[in-house]
Amino acid sequence: MTVVLDASAVLAFLGDEAGGGVVERALDEGARCSAVNWSEVAQKVSAAGGDWDVAAALLASYGLAVEDASAADGVEAARLWKRGSGLSLADRFCLALGARLGETVLTADSAWGSGEAVRQIR
């Protein structure tokens, strides 16, 4: 089953953190992420002093598909906004992509909870 990866899941994989193995299996099966989350991962890796080019090459070697954010995704991300929900704009774009593609979203962010559309990696 193909899934959509949240930035937190990708970062767990890159950082060899708990749940990284779950993400690696998803990558092996053709996981995708939103261009918005791709940007978030690039920013976090760079801010932590990591080499983004190496990280991007590793993710590309697994065939991670980076999906463009559509106008419809933007509208859905706006619709998902709720005061105090703890969901960032990037989080909501990730959920919007999952909804558009009909795929489960993998995250390491426990604030998202879990359910049919969201699966925690740890």
- Residue 58 has, within 13 A of its CA and on its CB side, a CA count of 16
pLDDT score, position 114:
80
Sheet holding 32-34, edge to edge: 65-67, 32-34, 4-5, 105-107, 118-120
Tens digits of residue pLDDT in 1-25 = 799 999 999 999 999 999 999 999 9
User: For residue 111, what pLDDT band results from cuts at 50, 70 and 90?
Assistant: confident
Find the mean pLDDT for residues 40-46. Answer: 98
Both tokens of 2, joined, read: 């193909």
Tens digits of residue pLDDT in 69-81 = 999 999 999 999 9
Which domains are assigned to the chain?
4-120 (3.40.50.1010)
77 CB-near residues (< 8 Å, 6+ apart): 89, 92, 93, 95, 96
Cα–Cα distance measured from residue 100 to residue 73, given in angstroms and rounded to the nearest whole number: 8
Is it the case that residue 85 has pLDDT exceeding 80? no
pTM of the model: 0.94
Q: What average pLDDT is seen over the chain?
A: 95
Both tokens of 6, joined, read: 């949240």
Cα–Cα distance measured from residue 30 to residue 82, given in angstroms and rounded to the nearest whole number: 31
